[in-house]
Amino acid sequence: VQKEKAKSDVCVFSADMRKSQLREQELKEGLALALQNREFHLVYQPVIDNQTNEVSFCEVLIRWELDGVLIPPQEFIPIAEQYGFIHEIGEWVLMKACVESSNWIFDDKVDISVNVSVPQLLRNDFVDIVKAALVNSGFPATSLHLEITESVFANNADVMFARIAELQSLGIKVSVDDFGTGFSSLSQLQKMSADIVKIDRSFIASMDEGGQAIIQATQYMAKQLGYSVVAEGVETKEQADELSDIGVNCSQGYYFSYPMTIDELSQWYEDFKQGKLNDPL
């Protein structure tokens, strides 16, 4: 019986593997055509300054609609990275975000924050690509943030630190995304000298079960190093109030707003400025 069970486990496992291989193949083929088929669009999520209650910046998030179904970025971004599509896609995201935002945000001085994958940052022409997006759109470098996950520290740390410094010299702000989940250490934060730390939403979700200690420690350390701190995944008023009490600079999450298209964002922003959204939920 033991033997039979072991055998059937093996079969289930390989069937799952086969399934995920097929899925990967399907997404890989889809990604090769997605740009030319115009299947991507961008959504924007406001990040609120806890002290002034104003919009500090908006995070830009990619959406892929394949045959009428939205594929989550968590699923396709890793595949795009693995097969090299991320470079073209990332360039498109930068350009599109700068152009769309120039049309409305520009006057209000709300920054936008674009996610960048590690392979993009590793390419020698990355800074040129960013510069081209800025020049071609007329979007100001000083209103652009780039978000980089803390896995940048895993390899090529020195190349990464140099590139980050180069971007900052243009006036761009650099954020460390998903802080607390990966390889980063406090000393690496000091070495890379970025501008913003985004605390991963898992710590906000677990604020009552120990997450608060991590948030407080990160907040304390970030302040010493001159970083500003953003909490991700804020879903309730209680979380928002507590984060504000801790001294976290900004909060982002469904409590304030879901990610929206640029047109929805414009409308939301008008309502927000008129104080119509004081109690978002």
Query: What does the binding site for Mg ion look like in residue numbers (CB under 5 A)?
Result: 115, 147, 177-178, 232
Buried (b) or exposed (e) across 73-91, using 16+ Cβ within 10 A?
eeebbebbbeeebbbebbb
Q: Which option in Mg ion, ligand C2E, none does residue 46 bind, with CB closer than 5 to 8 A by kind?
A: none
Task: Please state, in angstroms and rounded to a whole number, the distance separating the CA atoms of residues 218 and 79.
Answer: 31
Q: Quote the least distance from Cβ 218 to ligand C2E, whole Å.
A: 15
Contacts of 247 (CB under 8 A, 6+ apart): 219, 223
Across the chain, the runs of DSSP E, i.e. the strands, are 40-49, 55-66, 69-71, 111-116, 144-149, 173-179, 196-199, 228-231, 250-251
Q: Which option in Mg ion, ligand C2E, none does residue 215 bind, with CB closer than 5 to 8 A by kind?
A: none
Buried (b) or exposed (e) across 204-233, using 16+ Cβ within 10 A?
bbebeeebbebbeebbeebeeeebbbbbbb
Residue 61 tokens, joined: 């998030």
Nearer to ligand C2E by C-beta: 73 or 140? 73
Contacts of 217 (CB under 8 A, 6+ apart): none
Nearer to ligand C2E by C-beta: 100 or 178? 178
Determine contact, residues 64/76, Cβ cutoff 8 Å: yes
Q: Quote the least distance from Cβ 7 to ligand C2E, whole Å.
A: 38
Q: Quote the least distance from Cβ 4 to ligand C2E, whole Å.
A: 41
Q: Which option in ligand C2E, Mg ion, none does residue 259 bind, with CB closer than 5 to 8 A by kind?
A: ligand C2E
Nearer to ligand C2E by C-beta: 17 or 89? 89
Interacting residues with ligand C2E (CB under 6 A) = 45, 61-62, 72-74, 77, 90, 93, 115-117, 147, 177-178, 201, 232-235, 252-254, 259
Q: Which option in Mg ion, ligand C2E, none does residue 214 bind, with CB closer than 5 to 8 A by kind?
A: none
Residue 111 CA, chain-centre distance (Å), reads: 14
Nearer to Mg ion by C-beta: 28 or 119? 119
Q: Quote the least distance from Cβ 76 to ligand C2E, whole Å.
A: 9
Nearer to Mg ion by C-beta: 71 or 231? 231
